[in-house]
Amino acid sequence: MTADENNIDMAGEHAGQLGRAETDIVVIGISMAALLLFVGTGGTVMSQIVRSWMGTGEKANSLLETAVLLNIALILFGWRRYHDLSIEVHERKAAEAKARELAETDPLTGLCNRRRMPIEMAKMIEGSQANGMAVAVLMLDLDNFKKINDLNGHEFGDLVLTSIADRLKAAMPSGALIARLGGDEFTCALPYNPSRPDRIDQLVGKIIDQVARPIAKGDVSVDVTVSIGIISSTDGGEDAAVGTSAFAGNLLNRADIAMYHAKKQGRNRSAWFEPRMESELRLRAELEAGIRRGIADGEFVPYYQQQINLKTGDLVGFEMLARWKSPDMGLISPDIFIPIAEDIGLIAELSEDLIRQALEDARTWDPKLVLSVNISPIQLRDPWFAQKLLRILVESGFPPNRLDIEITESCLHENIGAVRTVITSLKNQGIRISLDDFGTGYSSLHQLRSLPFDQIKIDRSFVAELMEEGANPKLVEAIVSIGRGLDMPITAEGIETEEVGDVLRQMGELRGQGFLYGRPENADVTHRRLADQHMLASDRMAEEAGAGEVRPTTPAKRRRKS
């Protein structure tokens, strides 16, 4: 039923009730008159009639007799109507109470709902303030509920929610408010002494423990964890009057921000609201908007870092590393914007744009140089990824065997079947595949052997250890020997000093990359470097043609800000 229909229906019912009320007044009026008449005259007339019926008195006036009978009938009729009416009123009251309850409680758990909570909270805050107390507001969100629901079905999901509601009721002191705001979100509010926040911490610790007890039905048992944001009514903000439901709404929003923070810190924990959380959130929103704008305005550009054959010192290729030239914030690192672009679903668009630019740049380089690009796990989830990449290669006229895709070990945990399909079709096109950050993601030797990698890259955290005083190279040696056993070339990342370069060189044939050989540089600087070393495509063409002088090529001019 639409809201309008509902209104019309209610209006109709209302009119009906009015009409009925008017007839009821008439009926009751007539009955009262009948009763008064009966009381006034019935006494003498009635006894006369009864005596006449029993044959002990003279016959009563038949008109009088009829009037009295009518009088009795009217009284009975009135009483009956009164009786019906009181039942009706009772039922209507019960229905109204039920409707109010439905509008204010969560039908699954019987807890307060999102609508009623701020109203009740406002009352609690007002009352506590009068007693010199504050109110602590907890915002709870289950960490893994969606997964539990997807794996075990909604019925089991409902059981989880009702069990959590019961545990909350048991854990909270009497008089506390508990609500389910929707989904797997609960909130509680309770008065506390603002000089004893440790009491709230204790309570929250107890809730976290209680929630963590397994929930079982039949042979299914699940472990649930919860993240909790906490705020005190003393931190409610200035834009609403204390004790109003708008103020309570502010507290709920801020408790939500603290809860979000607890999730980011690793879930299954709690965090008190701090004002900086709000500014972080604002910064995040600005970054999101900036990234959207920046993609459209061509603010993302490729930088290139040299990759060297450690034995010969020859340049073998470049790794493309993305940079954001933000007009407001300057040059921004990919560690900041890549995770956000992943979160907001823009990573594929951003990456494809960068790869297009990089292929254009790399076409002007010596054809023996390989271009490596980093690919996010999110992109590998796209079953069309290989096709999309091939299309970009064809459009750019870039040979697939000069492109190397770096995927991190963490990709292998996702959906190994799908990843294998994508990797295999990339390989079939002649594209090279490297396993990036090797050693950080616990991939099994079996996985390594079963996937057709061309190269592994030792994570720079292991290489960095070689720089420490009295460092033990055993770990790096072990990784190198794994690579060797699998017959895969190895690149060591993050080489910063000559000493580390020397240690690695002693381990055999390796490639290397790091500040020692060069920092990531933009397209123009890279191009000039290659020109100086006679390593441009034009140099190679000139060599092959045996000609002396050839016009130098420059990187293609395009809309970008490098």
Q: What are the residues binding ligand C2E (CB under 6 A)?
A: 305, 321-322, 333-335, 338, 351, 354, 374-376, 436-437, 460, 493-496, 513-515, 520
- Report the residue from 409, 437, 521, 539 that binds Ca ion according to the rule CB under 5 A: 437
Instruction: Choose among 421, 420, 303, 316: nearest CA to 357.
Output: 303
CA dist., res. 498 & res. 504, Å (int): 10
Strands (E), 276-418: 300-309, 315-326, 330-332, 370-375, 403-408
Element (H, E) at 286: helix 275-296
In whole angstroms, how close is the CB of 489 to ligand C2E at the nearest point?
A: 17
* 409 part of the interface to Ca ion, by CB under 5 A: no
- Residue carrying structure tokens 């050839």: 550
Nearer to ligand C2E, 375 or 536 (CB): 375
- Angle between helices 523-532 and 347-362 in degrees, nearest 10: 20
Cα(456)–Cα(478) distance, integer angstroms: 13
φ and ψ at residue 236, rounded to 5 degrees? -80, -10
User: For the stretch 496-530, what's the b/e string if a residue is b when 16 or more beta carbons lie within 10 angstroms of its beta carbon?
Assistant: beeebbebbeebeebbbbbebbbebbbbeebbebb
Q: Which of these segments, 79-87, 203-211, 227-235, 403-411, binds Ca ion (CB under 5 A)? A: 403-411
- If contact means CB under 5 to 8 A according to the sort of partner, which of Ca ion, ligand C2E, none does residue 354 touch? ligand C2E
Torsion angles phi and psi, residue 330, rounded to 5: 85, -155
CA distance 264 to 279: 15
Alpha helices in 363-452 (DSSP H): 377-380, 385-396, 411-414, 416-428, 445-450
Parallel, antiparallel, or unpaired for β 226-232 and 134-142?
Answer: antiparallel
Q: How far is the CB of 471 from ligand C2E (least distance, A)?
A: 15
CB of 443 to ligand C2E, least distance (A): 16
* Residue among 457, 390, 476 at smallest CA distance from 426: 390
Least CB distance to Ca ion at residue 488 (A): 16
Q: Give the one entry of Ca ion, ligand C2E, none that residue 263 binds, where binding means its C-beta sits below a cut-off of 5 to 8 angstroms depending on kind.
A: none
Q: What would the x/- binding string for Ca ion be over residues 496 to 535, using CB under 5 A? A: ----------------------------------------
Smaller CB distance to ligand C2E: residue 141 or 299?
Answer: 299
Which range binds Ca ion by CB under 5 A, 168-176, 288-296, 369-377, 414-422?
369-377
Q: Which is nearer to ligand C2E, 469 or 487 (CB)?
A: 469
Pairing state between β 185-192 and 134-142: antiparallel
Residue 514 binds what, of ligand C2E, Ca ion, none (CB under 5 to 8 Å, by partner type)? ligand C2E
Written as one letter, the residue type at 214 is P
* Closer CB to ligand C2E, 117 or 466, in the complex: 466
Q: Which is nearer to ligand C2E, 128 or 374 (CB)?
A: 374
Q: Of Ca ion, ligand C2E, none, which one does residue 334 interact with (CB within 5 to 8 Å by kind)?
A: ligand C2E
User: Interface with Ca ion by CB under 5 A: which range of 187-195, 350-358, 374-382, 514-522?
Assistant: 374-382
Least distance (Å) from Ca ion to the CB of residue 376?
Answer: 11
Nearest CB to Ca ion, comparing residues 143 and 436: 436
- Out of ligand C2E, Ca ion, none, what residue 539 binds, judged by CB under 5 to 8 A for its kind, is none
Rounded to the nearest angstrom, the gap between the alpha carbon of residue 1 and the centroid of all alpha carbons in its chain is 32
Q: Which is nearer to ligand C2E, 202 or 461 (CB)?
A: 461
Q: Binding-site residue total for Ca ion (CB under 5 A)?
A: 4
Burial of 230 (0-12, 13-18, 19+ CB in 10 A): buried
The answer to whether residue 374 forms part of the interface with Ca ion (CB under 5 A) is yes
| 171 vs 373, beta carbon nearer Ca ion | 373
3-class SS letters over 31-83: HHHHHHHHHHHHHHHHHHHHHHHCCCCCCCCHHHHHHHHHHHHHHHHHHHHHH
Closest CB to ligand C2E among 272 and 398?
398
Query: Which residue number, 191 or 439, has a Cβ lying nearer to Ca ion?
Result: 439
Q: Report if residue 404 touches Ca ion, rule: CB under 5 A.
A: no
Q: Which is nearer to ligand C2E, 122 or 371 (CB)?
A: 371
Q: Which does 376 bind (CB under 5 to 8 A by kind): ligand C2E, Ca ion, none?
A: ligand C2E
Question: Least distance (Å) from Ca ion to the CB of residue 492?
Answer: 10
> Binder to Ca ion among 406, 409, 521, 539 (CB under 5 A)?
406
Q: What own/partner pairs with CB < 8 Å and gap ≥ 24 does 33-39 have? A: 34/70, 34/71, 34/74, 34/75, 34/78, 35/75, 35/78, 37/71, 38/68, 38/71, 38/72, 38/75
Q: Shortest Cβ distance from residue 248 to ligand C2E (Å)?
A: 42
Phi, psi (deg, nearest 5) at residue 182: 140, 155
Q: Tokens 């999901």 label which residue?
A: 157
User: In this chain, which residue has its C-beta nearest to ligand C2E?
Assistant: 514
Among Ca ion, ligand C2E, none, partner that 235 touches (CB below 5 to 8 angstroms by kind) = none
- Please provide the DSSP assignment of 163-211 as one string: HHHHHHHHHSPTT-EEEEEETTEEEEEEEE-TT-HHHHHHHHHHHHHHH
Instruction: State the minimum distance, in angstroms, from the CB of residue 436 to ligand C2E.
Output: 5
Name the residue among 562, 496, 478 with its Cα closest to residue 528.
562
Q: Which does 456 bind (CB under 5 to 8 A by kind): ligand C2E, Ca ion, none?
A: none
Q: Write down the least CB distance from residue 210 to ligand C2E, Å.
A: 40
Shortest distance (Å) from residue 455 CB to Ca ion: 11
Measured CA to CA, the distance from residue 66 to residue 63 in angstroms comes to: 5
C-beta closer to Ca ion: residue 235 or 436: 436
Q: Match 């397209």 to its residue by tokens.
A: 523
Among 436, 501, 503, 513, binds Ca ion (CB under 5 A): 436
For residue 351, the partner it binds in Ca ion, ligand C2E, none, with Cβ less than 5 to 8 A by kind, is ligand C2E
Q: How far is CA 232 from CA 115, 125, 254, 280, in A?
A: 21, 10, 10, 20
Q: What are the residues binding Ca ion (CB under 5 A)?
A: 374, 406, 436-437
